[in-house]
Amino acid sequence: MATKEKLFAQFTLLNYLQGSHGDRTVQEILEHVRDNTAWGRAQLERGGPTDLGLRNVQNWLKDIRESAEFGQQIEWQEDPNNRRQYRYRSRGPVIGKRIMPVEEACTLLMAEKFLDAALPADFYDASLQDLFRTAREVLSSYDKRPRHARKQVKGYLKRVAIEQRGQTLVEHGVPYDVLGVISRAILDGKCVNLSYWGEARIVHPYAIVLKSPKIYLLAVDDHIMGRRRPADLIPTQFLCARITDASVSKRANRAPEDFDADRFIAQVGLDVESHDESGLPATGFKLKLRIIDAASDNLLQDLKEFPLSKSQVLEQEQGTDNYILSAPGTRATHQLTEWIVGRLDRVEVLAPLKLRNYIAARIAAMHSLYT
């Protein structure tokens, strides 16, 4: 059973105690959790004895009793009919909201922090502001606790950051007005009227992609959408910082309803093709690189942990400290050529020959600037 389903079952347990009048036995709690959660239904489908479910609930209740987080929310006493068991009740009146643990509060406030980089506040405040406010209250409450029960939550959000790799670019500023229009158009199933590089366009929005520090709209122009089946089209990347005069169109969005941005990025990627310049085919080819003196720094380890391709193979070149990297199905992109050139004298292209010649020409052009 997935962890999130177990966690939901635990919160269902707590809410049940808060909403109950009088004591509840472990068996009663288990039956309620079974009736109201996926975890409970899975227990029923097993069709076996209840021992496993009871043990789980007993362990959860034990954790609650010993928890600085929840221990003050409920009280318990021995069951007069069975002194080896306890009966449980809520300490006070029904709170009306489930108890929020500090870990969840931190997660919510981290989500709020990074939502600010994707959406204008008025787009999500109506539905999430209550959760965010509760999360802030949970964190602030820890400042008032005794030292032994206090978690190091003050300043937590300042200790987590997401940083891009490579040359740092100055933030352009989040184009909230543009993002708000695009988001509403996607929700309403409408196209977007916009100006891109000063050119008026109507586009069918597929997705919004954050690639720090840039934000992209994946979309297809209306005049292209009318010529081919939407399922056969690959959306174009529009840099949101270059979009002006955006508004929701009355025209219906024909982007496929099942479009999945994560799946698209995994399969197609957001890299800019460079096959027109290098002469390489637009489809995949077998890349072969020599990694020079691989043990001299972290390059080899980086390639093992963060491969250039899922099909990448690394093998040591016989009699040397070099390694040969092979990766079938590689695409020619600006990012790939920049990665190779950026490794200076550590990476040599062995195949395909067109890519080797293209890199050699780039290096020769660079050399001529300095001689």
Last residue of a domain, one of 235, 250, 267: 267
Report yes or no: 254 and 225 within 8 Å, Cβ to Cβ.
yes
- Strand pairing report for 199-211 and 190-196: antiparallel
Question: Inter-axis angle of helices 121-141 and 176-188, to 10 degrees?
Answer: 110
Q: How many residues does the chain have?
A: 371
3-state secondary structure of 24: strand
Report yes or no: 281 and 275 within 8 Å, Cβ to Cβ.
yes
How far is Cα of residue 329 from the mean position of the Cα atoms in its chain?
26
Its pTM surpasses 0.75: no
Q: Which of 61, 66, 69, 67 is nearest to 138 (CA)?
A: 69
pLDDT at 96: 42
For 360, the domain range is 275-369
Whether residue 336 is contained in a domain is answered as yes
pLDDT at 278: 64
Whether residue 241 is contained in a domain is answered as yes
CA distance 18 to 8: 15
Residue by residue, DSSP assigns 187-231 as: HHTEEEEEEETTEEEEEEEEEEEEETTEEEEEEEEHHHHTTS-GG
Instruction: Locate 337 and state its tokens.
Output: 């050529």
**Tens digit of pLDDT per residue, the chain (371 long)?**
456 676 677 777 877 887 777 788 888 888 888 888 777 777 666 545 456 677 888 887 777 766 655 556 677 788 777 777 778 887 654 444 556 777 778 888 878 777 766 666 666 555 567 778 778 877 777 666 666 555 566 666 677 766 666 655 565 667 878 988 998 899 889 999 999 999 999 999 999 888 777 888 999 999 999 888 887 888 999 999 899 999 999 999 999 988 988 888 877 766 666 656 667 766 678 999 999 987 778 889 889 988 888 889 999 999 999 999 999 988 888 888 889 998 889 999 999 999 999 999 999 999 999 98
> Tokens 């405040």 map to which residue?
125
Report yes or no: 306 and 339 within 8 Å, Cβ to Cβ.
no
| Angle made by CA atoms 264, 267, 271, in degrees to the nearest 5 | 85
3-state secondary structure of 317: coil
CA distance 260 to 300: 33
Whether residue 95 is contained in a domain is answered as no
Whether residue 145 is contained in a domain is answered as yes
Report yes or no: 348 and 289 within 8 Å, Cβ to Cβ.
yes
Whether residue 140 is contained in a domain is answered as yes
Report yes or no: 253 and 193 within 8 Å, Cβ to Cβ.
no
CA distance 225 to 229: 7
CA distance 364 to 349: 15
Residues 293 and 320 occupy one common structural domain: yes
Instruction: Locate 186 and state its tokens.
Output: 């996607």
Residues 354 and 281 occupy one common structural domain: yes
| Angle made by CA atoms 243, 244, 249, in degrees to the nearest 5 | 95
Q: What CATH number did the domain enclosing 22 receive?
A: 1.10.10.10
Helix (H), strand (E) at residue 138:
helix 121-141
CA distance 104 to 184: 28
Whether residue 168 is contained in a domain is answered as no
Residues 60 and 129 occupy one common structural domain: no
Residue by residue, DSSP assigns 44-91 as: HHH-S-THHHHHHHHHHHHHHHT-TTTTTTEEEEEETTEEEEEEEEES
Residue 178 one-letter amino acid:
V
Secondary structure letter of residue 273 according to DSSP: B
Helix (H), strand (E) at residue 315:
strand 313-316
Residues 287 and 351 occupy one common structural domain: yes
Q: What CATH number did the domain enclosing 282 receive?
A: 3.30.70
Whether residue 320 is contained in a domain is answered as yes
Last residue of a domain, one of 90, 113, 134: 90
pLDDT at 192: 97
With 0-12 CB in 10 A as exposed, 13-18 as middle and 19+ as buried, what is 202?
Answer: middle
Secondary structure letter of residue 11 according to DSSP: H
Last residue of a domain, one of 267, 301, 320: 267
Residues 298 and 262 occupy one common structural domain: no
Report the number of distinct structural domains present in the chain: 4
pLDDT at 235: 92
3 CB neighbour count, 10 Å cutoff: 7
Residues 255 and 195 occupy one common structural domain: yes
With 0-12 CB in 10 A as exposed, 13-18 as middle and 19+ as buried, what is 218?
Answer: buried
Whether residue 96 is contained in a domain is answered as no
Residues 263 and 182 occupy one common structural domain: yes
Residues 285 and 363 occupy one common structural domain: yes
